[in-house]
Amino acid sequence: MKRTSKLVRFVVIALFAISFVSCEEENLNPITKVEVYPLHITSTNLSCEHTLDWDALRENGQYKDRLYIIQNQESFDEYIRFDTSLTSCRVDFSRNNVLLAYTFTRNLNVSQVFDTLWKLSANEYRWDIEYKYPGVVLPATGELANIIVIPKISDTSRVSLQVIDGGTIHTSPSKY
């Protein structure tokens, strides 16, 4: 009986030691997550009513696509104002960035807007915005602004803007 209880104790202690050592080895070799590109990045729209400062958006030329990467409240206040003072409308810039695209359209009757943010590499993103129109429409140039809240990106990240306007890609989308 003594021999059996000693054997059981030895086995329990050995199993405990093995599990302890394997736990330490796991901590030394953490599993790294491998990202496969392109990767769709989840974004949300601003949750509250807001007003845009169109004059500030046009500062780089009216009817030219422009992307603004907003990383702090001061830059946000330069272009966007909430129509309410509710604190739940604020953006937490410690965890998020805001992308603001000032774009032009070849028609004022946009029926649908599709936008997708893609992560192309560790530090490169592309925001695709597509405007669709109902049926046949007369051309008339207009301006639009699209705003999304995204998870925080690094200061060195590059984001490009691609606008598809009724099936036509705007010429020379630039990187910002």
Long-range contacts of 138-142 (CB under 8 A, 24+ apart): 138/107, 139/106, 139/107, 140/106, 140/107, 140/108, 141/63, 141/104, 141/105, 141/106, 142/104, 142/105, 142/107, 142/108, 142/110
What is the mean predicted confidence (pLDDT) over 31-35? 76
pTM value?
0.75
Mean pLDDT of 117-128: 95
pLDDT at position 55 over 70: yes
Q: Residue 173: which pLDDT band, with cuts at 50, 70 and 90?
A: very low
- Range in 16-30, 115-129, 133-147 the model is least confident about: 16-30
Centre a 10 Å sphere on the Cβ of residue 78 and count the other Cβ atoms it contains. Answer: 13
Model confidence pLDDT, tens digit, residues 16-27: 556 655 444 455
